[in-house]
Amino acid sequence: MIEIKNVTKTYRTGKVGVQALRGVSLKVKQGEFVAIMGPSGSGKSTLLHVLGFLDRPDSGDYKLWDKDIIRLTDEQLAVLRNRIAGFVFQQFHLLSRVSALENAELPLVYAGRRHLKEKALDKIKEVNLTQRAQHRPNELSGGEQQRVAIARALVNEPLIILADEPTGNLDTKSEKEIMSIFTDLNRKGKTIIMVTHEKEIAAYADRVIYMRDGKIISDEKKRESVAAGEFKELSFEGIFDHEQRLLNKVEFVEQLRQAANSIVSHKMRSFLSVLGIFIGVAAVVAMLALGQGAKESISQRLASLGSNLLSVRPGSRRFHGVSLEAGAVTRFTLKDSDAISKLPQVRRVSPSVRDRGQVVYGNKNWNTQIQGTGSDYADMRASAPIAGRFFTEEELRMREKVILVGTTVARELFGTANPVGAGIKVNRINFEVIGVLPEKGASHWHDQDDLVVMPITTAMYRLLGKEYVDSIDVEVKDMSLMQEAQDSITGLVVKRHRISDDNKDSFQIRNMAEIQETLESTTRTMTWLLGSIAAISLLVGGIGIMNIMLVSVTERTREIGLRKAIGARKADIMKQFLIESVVMTFSGGIIGVGFGILIAVLLSIFAGWATKVLASSVVLATLFSITVGLVFGLWPARKAARLNPIEALRYE
């Protein structure tokens, strides 16, 4: 079954080399019960590890049923450890966080046979632990723990049982129970290779090998093997491809359950790790909600300016070093407005004049802004009345004394009453209220609803006594024509007013779309800035996760060694630690999302800030938390996966 020739193995501690095996040759037949004895440091445990595919020799040959084992990859050796060999250790190496039954099931996970968990219960019954199956290792005696380890070694029906001082930590009664189990297994056909330093234990074996200084000094066959089981030769054809496929399908739920057990077993440490992610995600969600709310608030206010608008205003210039007032050189009239309206790029035009005046209704009065506009103002400025109507072109032409009031004026003069149809005085001139303008909102520097609107002809010739307009709003047919329209208007004004090159600054054309784009760009930049600052805290939380996972790798070094000893591949170890990391960050992310939404709501209610939580920001924050778990869990996972199983099992 097993044949090794001239096997050597040297361990290095710093610059010092310790030769554990010196040209060892050995044959083991299927069904034999072999005991390996010798003093400490004789190499017996190293030989057992080589025979059980846990360690590679430095030189020599190793054949299993005439198949060369030396050249197998680490992944293939893991398959052999899982399916061919079953290990029983002196220190038991049971997982403390799970029950005896779950410890026995562990090799099934790495064999892709988790669904066959009833086999683990059968093995628990074989070692007489049915009543203790749900107990954890710290609730079991030493002998019971060793029986759990034997059940775990048997669950995948291995052909070889390798036991390293299986009775070293047991009392006399437990020794007899364990050796009775080994003897019975040997009778059923199991090949058993056992390391011991006690002659009484070696007496149970059919063959005793003595070692000293890394060499076999004697090999005594005490009796013929009494194994009665059916012998079978291992078929290597397709086993590795088959096992690779199965191992790639290790149940995710099982890995998730083990990750949850690990997290719960260190509650405070896990909580502090999750706290960093929780704070980071909550900050990201809240900041993005704040930025999005500000963006929409600005967009709503800019919507009141209208779309595709150009505003033509008289400018000012310096004359002999003296700054002249706006309109001192170029003044616009209603005829200029008519001329601009005839340009091919222009859809509508609305000239405006502005001033302040006193508005009186009954015994109430209010000082507000007076604005005279054209009949197209409502459509151009998104100011369709919420009550009543806007004035008509005929009323504009006839200079009718009709007026629309903003919501602030309506509230101050009329309270909750409907102002439509009421008569009011503006600078002692009677007007009829025909409508109420929509609410535009207010800021700390300007209340857009504190105004009254009337026909521009009425304002100029009946109320304010103005001959010139203060501005001309121009609506362009299409956003793509904005620059062309601006150039055409500039040319028209220069031509009509005979403006020289020196006086080009005597008027201005403001592009409202550019202002809107600039404000939105600024808001977007602030949103990303706030989000980036919040993301930094998330990264800090990720570093905390990595630190905890590195500590976890150190604390669980022996557990990692055990998992590798029972067939876990590097990929399986990496998956487990990555899943643990992602579970922590995802948990913190989900809680952080909820808390971030709560913060956004509280900011809206108590601070009066505009906030809006988008589904995309929630998804982004959640995915970011998962990514943090993957990225910062990768290094600890790789470190765990690269551990040598022998060194890991010996770690103190």
Chain centroid offset of residue 550 CA: 20
Confidence of residue 230 (pLDDT cuts 50, 70, 90): low
Residue closest to 153 by CA, chosen among 72, 96, 87: 87
* CB contact at 8 A, 508 and 470: no
Could you give the percent of the chain with pLDDT greater than 70?
Answer: 89
**Cβ-based neighbours of 196, under 8 Å, separated by 6 or more:** 35, 36, 37, 165, 166, 167, 168, 202
Alpha-carbon dihedral sign for residues 297, 303, 309, 311? negative
Task: Select, from the ranges 326-340, 374-388, 601-615, the one with the highest average predicted confidence (pLDDT).
Answer: 374-388
CATH of 2-84+158-249, one of 3.40.50.300, 3.40.50.620, 3.40.50.450, 1.10.3210.10: 3.40.50.300
Cα(343)–Cα(485) distance, rounded to whole angstroms? Answer: 8
In this predicted structure, which of 111-115, 143-147, 383-387, 638-642 has the lowest mean pLDDT?
111-115
Q: Where are the domains of the chain?
A: 2-84+158-249, 258-300+518-649, 331-498
Q: Average pLDDT of 396-412?
A: 95
Phi, psi of 33 (to 5 degrees): -115, 105
Q: Average pLDDT of 81-85?
A: 89
Higher pLDDT, 230 or 431: 431
pLDDT value of residue 515: 64
Residue closest to 572 by CA, chosen among 645, 649, 650, 651: 645
Cα(111)–Cα(55) distance, rounded to whole angstroms? Answer: 20
**Strand runs (DSSP E) across 152-303, as ranges?**
160-164, 191-195, 207-212, 215-221
Instruction: Give residue-wise pLDDT tens across range 542-584.
Output: 787 888 888 888 888 888 889 899 988 888 888 888 888 888 8
Q: Average pLDDT of 46-59?
A: 92
Higher pLDDT, 617 or 127: 127
In this predicted structure, which of 98-112, 239-253, 399-413 has the lowest mean pLDDT?
239-253
pLDDT value of residue 320: 41
* CB contact at 8 A, 22 and 214: yes
In this predicted structure, which of 108-117, 320-329, 602-611 has the lowest mean pLDDT?
320-329
The pair of structure tokens assigned to 73 is 């990859």
Higher pLDDT, 406 or 237: 406
Confidence of residue 317 (pLDDT cuts 50, 70, 90): very low
Instruction: Give residue-wise pLDDT tens across range 500-548.
Output: 877 767 888 887 666 666 666 777 777 777 777 767 877 777 787 888 8
Task: Select, from the ranges 11-15, 262-266, 408-412, 590-594, the one with the highest average predicted confidence (pLDDT).
Answer: 408-412
Is the pLDDT at 21 greater than 90? The verdict is: yes
Supply the pTM of this predicted model. Answer: 0.65
pLDDT value of residue 325: 47
* Three-state secondary structure call for residue 354: strand
Is the pLDDT at 241 greater than 60? The verdict is: no
Cα(491)–Cα(512) distance, rounded to whole angstroms? Answer: 20
Mean predicted lDDT score pLDDT of the chain: 85
Residues comprising the chain, all counted: 652
CA distances to 28, 228, 645 from 231, in Å? 14, 9, 30
* CB contact at 8 A, 359 and 366: yes
Taking the C-alpha atoms of 413, 415, 418 and 422 in order, what is their torsion angle to the nearest 10 degrees? -20
pLDDT value of residue 114: 60
What DSSP string runs through 201-222? Answer: HHTTSSEEEEEETTEEEEEEE-
